[in-house]
Amino acid sequence: MKILVVGSGGREHALVWKIAQSKKVSKIYCAPGNAGISELAECVDIKATDLTSLADFAEEKKIDLTVVGMDDPLVAGIVDVFEARGLRVFGPRKNAAILEGSKAFSKDLMKKYNIPTAAYEVFTKPEDALRYLETSDYPIVLKADGLALGKGVLICKTKDEAVAGVKELMTDKAFGSAGDKIVVEEFLTGREASVLSFVDGKTVKLMASARDYKRAKDNDEGLNTGGMGNVSPNPFYTKEIDEFCRKNVYQRTVDAMAAEGREFKGVIFFGLMLTEKGPKVLEFNARFGDPETQVVLPRMENDIVEVFEACIDGTLDKVDLKFKEDAAVCVILASDGYPEKYEKGKEIRGLQNFKDKEGFWCFHAGTRLTDGKVVTNGGRVLGITALGKTPEEARQNAYEATKLVEFENKYMRHDIALTDR
């Protein structure tokens, strides 16, 4: 089989790495890819949002299966474009990707189908949102309705912060049209959990749980980011929580989408808050998480291409998903200044230290090749992942491995996978 992966981050590097293990696969392309991906796949200079050119390429190269990693092309309808040409593609259609594309839609869906989530209101006019804030309890959460690279969520401790947040999202358009509509919701407290799942329209199969660390700095301080690290399994995701969510969240969401005429095939990422009153859904994503993919796939024992095909063909019920007992921890090496201003083009040294190093991976995110050298090309640069018999051992291994690579302005959190965080 010839496979095309769409995207350029650490998630896509992990996907390409996993796909390359399949005996079914003879050739992998990635558009646009990055320096690390280029070692496993042929990178193609096509933007992930250029749907027509991607479909043209897939036809020209007779691609057997396209796997879409990023949210933007999914929400824009890449699956519909490919299917209209008779091309096989893994991911939800546009009318199902709205589960991530519109937070207002997903909140309304949860309300209608009794899926536990935070109380909320939706606003399309800033003056209405500001009026609502006059009588709100604080802290409160503001969310841009559309896609915002995982950063369009503001936790406001006071009314003044919330007023400034409405201005930032709706008036100043910090995230463009994503802030044309906002969701204002109650602030939930508890432990966060990430649960990725494969879905074939009717059946849902869960991957291993994970815990994400969103804030830029230690002790969950600093700005929200796309994610600074992960641990899998999530130490707070208990058997009781799993049983509750299987009954009240996971299958109910898949059934709700089907009932709405929005059959979902692909990956649903369930972002949960484990509150004192039980688990509640913080958000849905309509694709693999980043960096969750970098801790979940190294633990997965299945041939991932076979799972992709089962999702497309509606035969996921026949698949037995298996994961290693080992824990995995990923520590993101970022450019200092992320998620705000940071420098690019810094040479990365020591990448060869990961060659054939069993139980350790260096997944590239913001990297590119320049004059034969790998240099930084983004805020999140590398994801250093390691296995261990316990989360503590995996954590120790991952942090030891971060010493193997260096680049100017290298930055990381130091508390990933600490259970008291």
- CATH number of the domain within which 51 lies: 3.40.50.20
- Is residue 65 located within the same domain as residue 123? no
12 found inside a domain: yes
On whether residue 225 sits in a domain, the answer given is yes
Domain identity same for 177 and 195:
no
Report whether pLDDT(149) > 90.
no
Burial of 352 by CB count in 10 Å (0-12 exposed, 13-18 middle, 19+ buried)? exposed
Residues 195 and 289 in one domain: yes
What CATH number should be reported for the domain holding residue 378?
Answer: 3.90.600.10
DSSP letters spanning 55-90: HHHHHHTT-SEEEE--HHHHHHTHHHHHHHTT--EE
pLDDT band at 190; cut points 50, 70, 90 = very high
In this prediction, residues 311-322 reach a mean pLDDT of 98
Between CA 398 and CA 394 the distance in angstroms is: 6
pLDDT at 421 over 70: no
Distance of CA 88 to the CA centre of its chain: 22
pLDDT tens across 213-246, in order?
A: 999 999 999 988 989 999 999 999 999 999 999 9
Tens digit of pLDDT for each residue in 338-353? Answer: 999 999 999 999 999 9
Does a structural domain hold residue 238? Answer: yes
Mean pLDDT of 65-81: 97
Residue 99 lies in a domain: no
CATH number at residue 177: 3.30.1490.20
- 257 & 143 share domain: no
77 lies in some domain: yes
In a shared domain, residues 182 and 271: no
Whether the predicted pLDDT of 373 surpasses 60: yes
Nearest residue to 285 (alpha-carbon basis) of 92, 112, 117, 142: 92
Could you tell me if 87 and 28 lie in one domain? yes
Q: What is the pLDDT of residue 150?
A: 67
Of the chain, the percentage scoring pLDDT greater than 90 comes to: 95
Matching residue, tokens 């190093």: 357
Band the pLDDT of 400: cuts 50, 70, 90. very high
d(CA 232, CA 289): 13
| Number of structural domains in the chain | 4
Among 318, 335, 367, residue at a domain's last position: 318
70 vs 197: CA distance, rounded Å: 16
Task: Judge whether 420 lies within some domain.
Answer: no
Q: What is the pLDDT of residue 141?
A: 94
Q: Are residues 199 and 283 in the same domain?
A: yes
Q: Is 118 helix (H, G, I), strand (E, B) or coil?
A: coil
Stretch 246-256: mean pLDDT, rounded?
98
Question: Do residues 200 and 159 share a domain?
Answer: no
Percent of the residues in the chain that have a pLDDT greater than 70, as a whole number: 99
Q: Where do we find the tokens 């959460």?
A: 141
Q: Can you give the pLDDT at residue 152?
A: 85
Q: How far is the CA of 297 from the CAs of 39, 155, 196, 277, 363, in angstroms? A: 18, 31, 11, 31, 12
State the average pLDDT over residues 69-97.
Answer: 97
Residues 297 and 221 in one domain: yes
- Is pLDDT at 52 greater than 90 in this prediction? yes
> Given the DSSP bridges, would you call strands 2-7 and 65-68 parallel, antiparallel or unpaired?
parallel
Q: Which domain holds residue 15?
A: 2-93
Boundary-marking domain end, from 186, 215, 238 = 186
Nearest to 145, CA basis, from 98, 78, 76, 96? 98
H or E segment at 52? Answer: helix 51-60
Which residues are within 8 A (CB) of 240 and not within 5 positions of it... i.e. 6 or more apart? none
As a whole number of angstroms, the longest Cα–Cα distance in the chain is: 60
The last residue of a domain, from among 318, 346, 362: 318
List pLDDT tens digits, range 262-296. Answer: 999 999 999 999 999 999 999 999 999 999 999 99
State how far the Cα of 293 lies from the Cα of 232, in Å rounded to an integer.
10
* CB-neighbour burial class of residue 167 (10 A; exposed 0-12, middle 13-18, buried 19+): middle
Measure the CA angle with vertex 190, ends 186 and 192; round to 5°: 100
At residue 147, the pLDDT reads 86
Return the SS3 of 336. Answer: coil
The answer to whether position 104 is within a domain reads: no
For the cut 60, the answer to whether the pLDDT of residue 20 exceeds it is yes
Q: Other CB atoms closer than 10 Å to residue 149's CB: what's the count?
A: 13
Q: Assess if residue 222 is contained within a domain.
A: yes
Verify that 314 and 345 share a domain, yes or no.
Answer: no
Confidence of residue 151 (pLDDT cuts 50, 70, 90): confident
Same domain, 174 and 199: no
Q: Clarify whether residues 217 and 274 are in a common domain.
A: yes
What integer pLDDT is reported at residue 148 of this predicted model?
79
**For residue 27, what are the β-bridge partners?**
2
Q: What does the block give as tokens for 251?
A: 């299958």
